[in-house]
């Protein structure tokens, strides 16, 4: 899972809304030295990429999903959506591309709205670019209704408010739906970016509420994945949510947390560029069973969230990947 904009912050509940929410799973982002539930392990992961300035979404996500330092490639941290050199990098070397080349089946679990397909945005996120360039289908609201996808809020509440005929899912139901889907693929990615959005635009209380529900979802996903023999990996692209003293991204490391057999690779993760090569190695070196059949017996790491940053961040309010200028500070 890719969680956008979740770095490792302090344990101060007045400054870190993650600490204020007292999460069980996301405690690693709140300066909490306690062990993670369900035998999860985590490590700090550098998001600065040895380039000056605050880390940003396009370069952070492209680095995370390609294993190549995209900030070095373009000479700076770049916000929002990837530019052409980054899209080309993803086309050639993304996690999805690498796995497809060796016959692995991958899925991007996020559901895209009809307007994404009818009014194609000029720029798309790193995950969308990776999915499309690897020839992996984008999921639709029909997939969502059939239980083969999750919306970006995982509850569908935002869609129901807009009168879409989709069921409301509790955090546990949503987690079960995601893990069921992951059982049919070698690797399934889910991207959650409300973490970065609420950090840029929301109140402290909004952030605490969001973290509580997200934590419930993640905990249920870790439980279900463990029962199904599926490894779960959670990482991010840059810090933001963990420090409410600023609405900008932070220079904090992000956390990479893992459950299941993939945990053996965790000590090798030092920065964002380590994640994709290690998943590729793990899946191709026989750390898992061969390509799983469709059905709940399959196994594979489900990557869950992603991060975001900075100056002019382009982000869709409703996950439709429309290009909207970020109106917050700076
Ligand atoms: Zn951001």
pLDDT of res. 29: 98
Neighbours of 137 (CB within 10 A): 10
CA–centroid distance, residue 245 to ligand 1 (Å): 15
Gap from CA of 313 to ligand 1 centroid (Å): 6
CATH assignment of 2-303?
Answer: 3.40.720.10
Distance of CA 250 to the CA centre of its chain: 17
Calculate how far, in angstroms, residue 45's C-alpha sits from the geometric centre of ligand 1.
Answer: 18
| Ligand 1 centroid – CA 81 distance (Å) | 11
pLDDT digits (tens, 9 = 90+) for 192-205: 999 999 999 999 99
For residue 180, give both structure tokens. 């069921």
Domain boundaries, the chain: 2-303
The mean per-residue pLDDT over the stretch 257-270 comes to 93
Please classify residue 1 by burial: count the beta carbons closer than 10 Å to its beta carbon, then call 0-12 exposed, 13-18 middle and 19+ buried: buried
Q: 326 C-alpha vs ligand 1 centroid, how far in Å?
A: 9
Q: How far is CA 143 from CA 11, 61, 294, in A?
A: 40, 25, 15
Report the separation in Å between the CA atom of 78 and the middle of ligand 1, taken as the mean of its atom positions.
11
pLDDT digits (tens, 9 = 90+) for 273-324: 999 999 999 999 865 433 333 333 334 444 543 333 333 333 333 333 333 3
């Amino acid at each position: 899972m890719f969680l956008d904009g979740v770095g490792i912050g302090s344990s101060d509940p007045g400054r870190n809304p993650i600490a204020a929410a007292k999460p069980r799973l996301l405690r690693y982002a709140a300066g909490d030295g306690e062990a993670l539930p369900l035998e999860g392990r985590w490590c700090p992961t550098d998001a600065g990429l040895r380039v000056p300035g605050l880390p940003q979404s396009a370069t952070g996500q492209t680095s995370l999903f390609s294993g190549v330092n995209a900030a070095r490639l373009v000479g700076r941290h770049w916000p929002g959506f990837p530019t052409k050199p980054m899209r080309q990098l993803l086309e050639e070397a993304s996690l999805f591309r690498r796995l497809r080349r060796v016959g692995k089946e991958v899925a991007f679990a996020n559901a895209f709205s009809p307007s994404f397909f009818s009014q194609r945005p000029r720029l798309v996120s790193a995950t969308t670019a990776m999915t499309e360039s690897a020839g992996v289908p984008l999921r639709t609201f029909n997939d969502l209704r059939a239980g083969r996808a999750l919306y970006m809020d995982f509850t569908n509440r935002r869609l129901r408010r807009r009168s879409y005929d989709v069921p409301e899912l509790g955090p546990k139901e949503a987690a079960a739906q995601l893990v069921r889907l992951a059982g049919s693929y070698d690797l399934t990615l889910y991207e959650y970016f409300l973490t970065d959005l609420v950090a840029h635009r929301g109140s402290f209380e909004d952030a605490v509420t969001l973290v509580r529900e997200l934590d419930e979802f993640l905990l249920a996903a870790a439980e279900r994945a463990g029962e199904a023999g599926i490894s779960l990996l959670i990482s991010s692209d840059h810090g933001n949510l963990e420090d409410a003293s600023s609405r900008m991204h932070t220079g904090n490391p992000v956390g990479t947390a893992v459950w299941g057999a993939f945990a053996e690779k965790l000590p090798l993760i030092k920065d964002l560029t380590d994640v994709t090569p290690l998943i590729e190695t793990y899946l191709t070196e026989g750390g898992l069973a061969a390509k799983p059949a469709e059905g709940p017996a399959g196994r594979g790491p489900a990557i869950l969230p992603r991060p975001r940053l900075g100056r002019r961040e382009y982000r869709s309010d409703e996950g439709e990947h429309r290009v909207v200028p970020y109106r917050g500070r700076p």
